[in-house]
């Protein structure tokens, strides 16, 4: 009886990507605390260098707060097109080893190297080579995690950052998982962690002791994900094509707006969204509203319509209905956004339609 070999999955994460590119391109910035983003009163940090992170500065932090934490912080304007070009150079290095590459974002990706182009027996060998080539050819640093599934590869890449390299072997998986706080689990954010803490669950062994039925009762389909992850199970494939599931747009205002200005802004966002939906020929029936207050509190409201939301006329009534469900502060709002996405039913129907084409 033959034993099915384990997959070899690598997760590569570029360390402080935007900031590292700026420090590479501008030697005077090396070794200094920098933040990529807008330094203005309403600015937000996109990425912080590790020198800045020592002071508590992190991405998505208001620039004013970052400056309080690190008075010597140097702000650098974002150069997104340049970062995208560098990201393509990183991907070209990945392609030396495999064509099964799943970008997660501009600065991280999963690679399936089970059957690789150089005949390497281990994922570790390839991860070492990738890190070396990124450093020598691009002057940048990456962290890499190697394991038999995506969940564990991702955890491994985060484990020893920056410039990390970690392998989680199948025989070591449960021991490794048991050392983690539940916050380290993919998909468990602050809100879910708070709910778990309220139930007395703070560690992986405690989470593993909860039955599947109880987890699904508490968290819906995410409960099954947590149940599997805490057991080292993740059957998701590394996919080279990711189907678009939503189209959205948002606007951050130069100053807080209120009253009639909010209606005008919503009309503008609706028009932009309708154009994007039609340009991408996207079909979806679920609308999500995003509102951010001056204190950075962010709320979302969602609802599904009966028709595909592909025009101003169809989006407008649903958007205003969602806005009425938000209690707006007297101080106004700083951001307004809308997105159209597929409902669970639409996703299932698309999947079934694709399966039928196989027969």
Q: What would the pLDDT profile of 242-258 be if each residue is shown by its tens digit?
A: 667 889 999 888 889 99
**Alpha carbon 240 to chain centroid, angstroms:** 17
Here the tokens at position 229 are 């992850």
Under the banding of pLDDT at 50, 70 and 90, the label for residue 1 is very low
Under the banding of pLDDT at 50, 70 and 90, the label for residue 346 is low
Indicate if 250 and 316 belong to the same structural domain: yes
Percent of the chain clearing pLDDT 70 (strictly above):
94
45 within some domain? yes
Pure H helices in the chain = 17-25, 50-53, 63-69, 80-94, 123-138, 150-159, 173-178, 190-198, 204-208, 212-219, 221-229, 260-279, 312-324, 344-356
Indicate if 331 and 271 belong to the same structural domain: yes
**Alpha carbon 150 to chain centroid, angstroms:** 14
Cα(157)–Cα(142) distance, integer angstroms: 9
129 vs 356, more confident? 129
Cα(259)–Cα(330) distance, integer angstroms: 9
β-strand pairing of 333-341 with 108-112: unpaired
pLDDT tens readout for residues 302-326: 988 788 999 999 999 999 999 999 9
Per mean pLDDT, which range of 161-170, 283-292, 342-351 is the poorest?
Answer: 342-351
Evaluate the omega torsion of the peptide bond into residue 267 and state whether it is cis, within 30 degrees of 0.
Answer: no
Write down which residue in 25, 55, 80 finishes a domain.
Answer: 80
Provide the domain count of the chain.
3
Indicate if 250 and 314 belong to the same structural domain: yes
Cα(20)–Cα(256) distance, integer angstroms: 33
Indicate if 308 and 345 belong to the same structural domain: yes
Range of the domain at 323: 246-349
pLDDT tens readout for residues 59-104: 889 999 999 999 999 999 999 999 999 999 999 999 999 999 999 8
pLDDT tens readout for residues 150-197: 999 999 999 888 999 999 999 999 999 999 888 888 788 888 899 999
The full DSSP string for 163-208 is S-EEE--GGGHHHHHHTSBGGGSTT--HHHHHHHHHTT--BHHHHH
Indicate if 325 and 283 belong to the same structural domain: yes
132 within some domain? no
Indicate if 252 and 214 belong to the same structural domain: no
pLDDT tens readout for residues 123-135: 999 999 999 999 9
Q: Which residues contact 206 (CB under 8 A, 6 or more apart)?
A: 200
Per-residue confidence (pLDDT) for residue 355, from 0 to 100: 42
Domain containing residue 25: CATH number: 3.40.1170.60
Per-residue confidence (pLDDT) for residue 48, from 0 to 100: 95
Per-residue confidence (pLDDT) for residue 344, from 0 to 100: 61
Indicate if 332 and 272 belong to the same structural domain: yes
359 within some domain? no
Cα(236)–Cα(117) distance, integer angstroms: 22
185 within some domain? yes
**What is the mean pLDDT of the segment spanning 273-285?**
91
Closest CA to 237 of 107, 109, 99, 112: 112
pLDDT, averaged across the chain:
90
Neighbours of 2 (CB within 10 A): 4
220 within some domain? yes
Indicate if 224 and 260 belong to the same structural domain: no
CA distances from 187 to 22, 106, 154 (A): 30, 20, 12
134 within some domain? no
Q: Is residue 359 predicted with pLDDT exceeding 70? A: no
Indicate if 212 and 260 belong to the same structural domain: no
Per-residue confidence (pLDDT) for residue 186, from 0 to 100: 79
Indicate if 324 and 272 belong to the same structural domain: yes
63 within some domain? yes
Q: Is residue 52 predicted with pLDDT exceeding 90? A: yes
Active site residues: 108
Write down which residue in 198, 229, 260 finishes a domain.
Answer: 229
Indicate if 211 and 255 belong to the same structural domain: no
Domain containing residue 189: CATH number: 1.10.150.20
Cα(339)–Cα(270) distance, integer angstroms: 9
157 within some domain? no
Indicate if 270 and 333 belong to the same structural domain: yes
């Amino acid at each position: 009886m033959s034993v099915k070999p384990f997959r070899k999955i690598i997760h590569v994460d570029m360390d402080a990507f935007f900031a590292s590119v700026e420090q590479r391109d501008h030697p005077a910035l090396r070794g200094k605390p920098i933040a990529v983003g807008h330094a203005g009163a309403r600015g937000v940090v996109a990425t912080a260098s590790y020198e800045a992170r020592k002071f508590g500065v992190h991405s998505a932090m208001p620039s004013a707060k970052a400056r309080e934490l690190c008075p010597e912080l140097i702000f650098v304007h974002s150069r997104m097109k340049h970062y995208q070009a560098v990201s393509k150079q990183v991907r070209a290095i990945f392609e030396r080893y495999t064509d099964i590459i799943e970008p997660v974002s501009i600065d991280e990706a999963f690679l399936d190297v089970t059957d690789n182009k150089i005949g390497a027996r281990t994922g570790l060998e390839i991860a070492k080579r990738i890190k070396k080539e990124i450093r020598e050819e691009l002057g940048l640093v990456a962290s890499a995690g190697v394991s038999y599934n995506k969940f564990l590869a991702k955890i491994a890449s985060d484990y020893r950052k920056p410039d990390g390299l970690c392998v989680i072997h199948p025989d070591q998986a449960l021991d490794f998982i048991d050392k983690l706080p539940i916050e380290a689990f993919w998909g468990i954010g602050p809100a879910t962690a708070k709910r778990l803490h309220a139930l007395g669950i703070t560690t992986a062994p405690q989470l593993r002791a909860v039955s599947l039925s109880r987890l699904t009762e508490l968290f819906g389909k995410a409960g099954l994900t947590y149940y599997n992850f805490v057991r080292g199970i993740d059957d998701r494939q590394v996919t080279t094509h990711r189907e678009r599931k939503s189209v959205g747009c948002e606007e951050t205002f130069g100053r807080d707006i209120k009253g009639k200005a909010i209606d005008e802004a919503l009309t503008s966002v609706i028009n932009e969204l309708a154009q994007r939906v039609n340009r991408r020929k996207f079909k979806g029936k679920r609308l999500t509203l995003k509102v951010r207050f001056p204190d950075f509190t962010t709320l979302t409201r969602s609802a599904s319509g009966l028709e595909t939301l592909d025009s101003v006329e169809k989006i407008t009534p649903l958007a205003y209905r969602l806005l009425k469900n938000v209690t707006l502060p007297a101080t106004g709002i700083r951001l307004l956004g809308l997105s159209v996405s597929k409902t669970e039913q639409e996703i299932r129907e698309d999947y079934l339609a694709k399966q039928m084409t196989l027969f």
